[in-house]
Amino acid sequence: MLNLSVPNSQENQPLLDATNWNVIETEFDPTQLHHKETVFTLGNGFLGTRGTFEEGYPQDFTATLIHGVYDDVKISYTQLVNCPNWLPLVVKVAGQRFSMDSGEILNYERRLDLRLGLVSRDLRWRSPTGHTLDFHFERFVSLADQHVLAIRCQITSVDFEGEITVEAGFDAQPDTQGIQHWQTLNQGGADNIIWLHSQTLYSGAQLGMAAKLVIEGDDGVSMRVENTSNSPSLATTFELLKGKTVTVEKIVTLFTSRETETPMTAALQRLADEPKYTTLLAAHITAWDQVWQDSDIIIEGDRLSQLSVRYNLFQLLAAAPRHDERVSIPPKTLSGFAYSGHIFWDTEIFILPFLTLTQPALARNLLTYRYHTLPGARRKAQEAGYQGAMFAWESATTGDEVTPRWVPGANGEQIRIWCGDIEVHITADVAYAVWHYWQTTDDDHWMRDYGAEIILDTAVFWESRVEWNPERNSYDILDVIGPDENHDRVDNNAFTNLMVQWHLQSALALWDWFKQAYPEASAQLVQKLNLTTERLHQWAEIQERLFINEDAQTGLIEQFEGFFQLEHVNLADYEPRSKSLQGLLGIEATSQKQILKQPDVLMLLYLLRDRYDYNTLATNWDYYNQRTDHSYGSSLGPAIHAILACDLNQPTQAYTHFIRAALVDLEDVRLNAAEGIHAASAGGVWQAVVFGFGGIRMTQFGPIACANLPPGWTRLKFRLQWRNEWYDFDLGAEKEMEGNQEVKVPMVDTHPTISGVIFDLDGVLTDTSEFHYLGWKQLADEEGIPFNREANEAMRGLPRRESLLEILGDRPATEEKIQEMMERKNRYYLELMQKITTADLLPGVKNLLQDLQAAGIKVALGSSSKNAQTVIELLGIRDKFDAIADGYSVSQPKPAPDIFLFAAQQLGLSPSQCVVVEDAAAGIEAAHAAGMSAVGIGPVERVGRANVVLSSLEDVCWQDLQEQVATSKTTDAFAIVFG
């Protein structure tokens, strides 16, 4: 069993690692053999080795997979091949071979140390003839040097005295799911070294591997080379005394022809230079420590989540290529044979966000792979009758399509697979990843040299892929498959169409920048891609007129044309089950029902979340969530549902989805972990933690957090790199009572030193609310709408348009009428406002502004009003402000954080260095969303979520206010109320 639960008593405490860094198996269950081989996979970005035993086990799936080492195969064209096995290490006790399936296992523990990248196994074994020994195995694949692999075996006698033989070798002829791929070119051994030179049968990839066997202390133990005619091995025999320990070390070096023309020579030379095991291990541990410093996530209050999150991140970091731009991460990483090691959209959409924001150099490698496969993408587009670049649904070395068109079914029938022909959304998905890498890293040079060509040539493809529909006066994208693969050959899939719209909009924006930033490079692309003015105008036309079936009133988006006419079924009627609904009902029957394999419309609302409001998300969530096969559909879905549930303020439901993703491999929740790591789900887990529970939003000013932690989590800590600067987030959750419900309130992590203060205008510096009220009152009277002071108070903090809509209620009004009424009210307000003088400053404001100026604190105005600058000039305090952020500065009003983030940028300060002074609940929310502390002016029932609440600014000096804000960060209460 894997010990993943929190211990309930002291007696089992030692079985759970207190640091939450170790996955521990305490019982060996042969029926779980293949699942655990996946769990204990090790990797270093060059290769991955499944967690099989060094001595082997009957029917095990031994595998070492190396990025980019493919060979031809029927049906799926090419597959990532199982490479010669470097693990074999056999121990014989008095002539009897040690094995987990012989004799008796008296004690057992296997451990994957995620922090160190080390797999170890400790056991006490009684041989069939009654000899008892303790074994300690450990191994690593070096992160410090990707060509070095190492095993250590310590053998301790409990009651045995006699002869021990240790044999170390290779398996030169492994198969890949029954298919042979290797021929031996040369092999041999001398002294304490053996070597193996192999080549794939069709692709001609070569592999050179060398190994040496070292006995610690050496004590004159002799070494011999055996079996040189087949697969060489090293053997040594020594006497073991009762209570004594002997340590044996196997050091392996491995190169392929992808890195050097002479891999065998390189392996032998590297082996000759290698120091002892402990030195190699120290370098490996140091390399992992450096990676974890930037990529670790700390979760307090939920040890299961802590361990499972680290496990998922470990497997992604272990698979990410570090020194090769011509490979990418397959959906099973380098841990299993499923999907033949081909590259899908999993990498760009699910894995890349994690690497882009914590290990951008690794993200760049993966995206550069897509650049190198552009020729294959162009060939695919041309063969299908289109222009530009059309990325393969399944890609390998060249970028040509390697999705099988036909696969044998369970009954021997041939099943047509359409994904390679029509699951075209991957082309927009790659562009999406390229764009977001650029936005996050500011890597203009990479965009110039690689990314721009990807985004622009794939936009050319979309221009040729759309079709004009004269009846609707719109563009269609027909005969496609969306992310929900339960339904194929559909028209106008909303995910595809809206991602294409985004793609074309982004391509046009990129081109505007590119022409200005790099005129020579852009001129070359004009020629290469035929980027005529007419073509760019056509892109603008297409993105404006792509067909989307969205209900204008509710915001409900139809997944594809005709989806709403399919049969609706209650998924609960099929419980309990242990397979997907498609597996239960069949492919054809499922396609006629509203049953989703994974999020489709909801996936769109996540990727383009800044374009859709809460109500649109809620409407589509209510419709599609209940129609999705969460348990046995796609593993890509649960993490995305977790994020959207957080956006809907449903952290408990979010946690249910999250834990389903987090444990997909550790607990084999889908009963298919034996096939390999679920890489997309692992990337989704990071996104669920950071973008979901952490509430991270990316803004033009950097990442901001608004935490929505699930029950039990008391702390969430992580760091992100944005535009070459690190942002550290340390988020907690406190509880307060709202009615009879317990509400979680985010604690904003702020810097102890405040360097800037941002003031709202109305209710803080002056009280123009009476002018606003009189202006609205005059408008309402003219329109015959009832309006009083109570209604006006309910509008406090709302922008002008939202205030008017609040007054109108259900009364219909054209957009032209709305604009006219807003202008009329503003005219009334401006007329009244001319009466403002310096005497209208609220008590304490003038003294506090002078205090701030004397202390060298920067001051900004952060008001949604478009008249803010006029007002502070009338008040006579314009010279007290270093920056102005008003209704003209940003498009998103409070409670969006944009106004305060803009103000901080104008001051040249980070959000954590600023404190906001506000009198409205929406403003307090905006301040926290921006990562700033907040001082609330007014009654607690309105501004009680602020860090500090004051009745007014009268008699407030900067020193006192600064101390109050600092105190609020350490107190158990969310708000400290003064005065």
Structure-block tokens of residue 63:
């595998």
Cβ atoms of 600 and 495 within 8 Å: the answer is: yes
Q: Which residues on adjacent β-strands are paired with residue 742?
A: 737
Which H or E run contains 886? none
C-alpha span between 870 and 446 (Å, rounded): 45
C-alpha span between 960 and 232 (Å, rounded): 78
Q: If 0-12 CB within 10 Å is exposed, 13-18 middle and 19+ buried, where does residue 561 land?
A: middle
Position of tokens 């014989």?
Answer: 92
Q: Is 954 in the active site?
A: no
Q: Among residues 705, 17, 717, 683, which one has the least CA distance to residue 300?
A: 717
Which H or E run contains 200? strand 193-200
Cβ atoms of 883 and 856 within 8 Å: the answer is: no
Given the residues 54, 138, 274, 485, select the one marked as catalytic. 485
Structure-block tokens of residue 909:
């300060």
For residue 60, what are the CA distances in angstroms to 37, 84, 136, 330, 623?
8, 15, 20, 22, 44
Position of tokens 């899939």?
Answer: 493
Question: Which residues contact residue 66 at a Cβ distance below 8 angstroms, ignoring those fewer than 6 apart?
Answer: 46, 47, 80, 83, 207, 256, 334
Q: What is the DSSP string of 922-939?
A: HHHHHHHHTT-EEEEES-
DSSP state at residue 483: S
For residue 73, what are the CA distances in angstroms to 205, 389, 589, 613, 822?
14, 26, 32, 48, 68
Residue type, 755: S
Q: If 0-12 CB within 10 Å is exposed, 13-18 middle and 19+ buried, where does residue 438 land?
A: buried
Q: Is the peptide bond before 30 cis (omega within 30 degrees of 0)?
A: no
Strands (E) located in 623-747: 697-699, 702-704, 715-722, 725-738, 741-747
Q: Among residues 186, 171, 198, which one has the least CA distance to residue 71?
A: 198
Position of tokens 């009651």?
Answer: 159
Helix (H, G, I), strand (E, B) or coil at 23: strand
Phi and psi torsions of 861, nearest 5°: -100, 130
* HSE (side-chain half, CA atoms, 13 Å) at 928: 27
DSSP state at residue 85: B
Which H or E run contains 207? strand 206-215
For residue 896, what are the CA distances in angstroms to 613, 762, 794, 800, 864?
12, 18, 19, 15, 11
Structure-block tokens of residue 842:
């609220």
Structure-block tokens of residue 760:
């709202």
Q: Among residues 294, 295, 292, 303, which one has the least CA distance to residue 20?
A: 303
C-alpha span between 198 and 185 (Å, rounded): 5
Q: At what angle do helices 452-465 and 494-517 cross, to 10 degrees?
A: 130
Which residues are marked as active site? 485
